[in-house]
Structure 1
């Protein structure tokens, strides 16, 4: 109920002298802002309305994250994955995020609503943990895609060097950080997504005559 009540000369009464004036919060998914984009609507009612409890904002946040359809990165690596590509031990390996998109790298924003209530979530990848298969772990951001012009240079931001030949499974785990707010609350959701690829390392054989 609006406190204090407007004078009866206020147009909201429309000539009535019974009932009361009430305030209602209404949300707008297009303008999340404070309280999930809540604005106050004032109206007359003959009897007190039955107020529905707002949903749990964490539940709406989870719905917003689900609608993002997030996925693990596409691995970019040299030597390339597959049996027909062999790298050389002692030579630099380059790793990067191949063709980063809204759903694999961010930032991405989605809103979930229930009636007048809404929660907006925005997420992006903080960094990527690369497990190289030989015990080494490398932490990187997006990385730099390899080009032939780089030759034998090591990656400036995300690389590794193998010391033994063999087949290795490289795993890249992207660490998502998703901030949400709405219905007077806010929070953080962390999500890890992993993709793997095989690489083969060999060594140069010197032939002697």
Structure 2
């Protein structure tokens, strides 16, 4: 187990990079009721896996392989969305359709977020399978991103 932990430490794993539409930033606002798309932006071995590393001490060697089994998205409105896989990056030709792999819709404006800003985080659930020294096992742990603010507004229809 100690060698497995050492192998995992040598992987230098990081939380994913969030891909999301609507994008974070000034002059970027999504609308209540429209789909939000979430995905792993530019996945790498150390942010999504699979990645394999080994550690040895004396004649004992352990090999460990780590990969993300799921991602729990905290949407900042009291809901979480659990997705498996990397998600589907949004492209303009998708229009207003829901993400086929990982999405959400904000249903109403929250009184807790008067400016429409929601703090989104993504928690990667890593599963590591290890074997060596006549033993094997599974180690699981989570890595969470820093919060990413996105803004959601309401469309107002004006008639004259």
Decide: shared fold, TM above 0.5: yes
Write the deviation string for residues 12-59 of structure 1: whole angstroms up to 9, x where unpaired.
xxxxxxxxxxxxxxxxxxxxxxxxxxxxxxxxxxxxxxxxxxxxxx11
Mapped to 1, the partners of 2:125 and 2:27 lie a distance apart of: 31
Write the deviation string for residues 48-91 of structure 1: whole angstroms up to 9, x where unpaired.
xxxxxxxxxx1111110000000000001000012321101110
Q: 2:79 pairs with 130, 136, 160, which one?
A: 136
Mapped to 2, the partners of 1:77 and 1:102 lie a distance apart of: 20
Contact 1:65 1:110 in 2 (8 A): yes
Mapped to 1, the partners of 2:140 and 2:56 lie a distance apart of: 21
Runs of 4+ in structure 1 over 4 Å off? none
Could you say which structure has the greater relative contact order, defined with CA pairs below 8 angstroms and 6 or more residues apart?
A: 2
Partner of 1:101: 44
Partner of 1:180: 130
Query: Which consecutive unaligned segments of at least 5 residues does structure 1 have?
Result: 1-57
Query: Which consecutive unaligned segments of at least 5 residues does structure 2 have?
Result: 110-115
Contact 1:83 1:200 in 2 (8 A): no
What is the aligned length?
A: 152
Contact 1:73 1:105 in 2 (8 A): yes
For the aligned residue pairs, the C-alpha RMSD in angstroms reads 1.0
**TM-score, structure 2 normalization:** 0.91
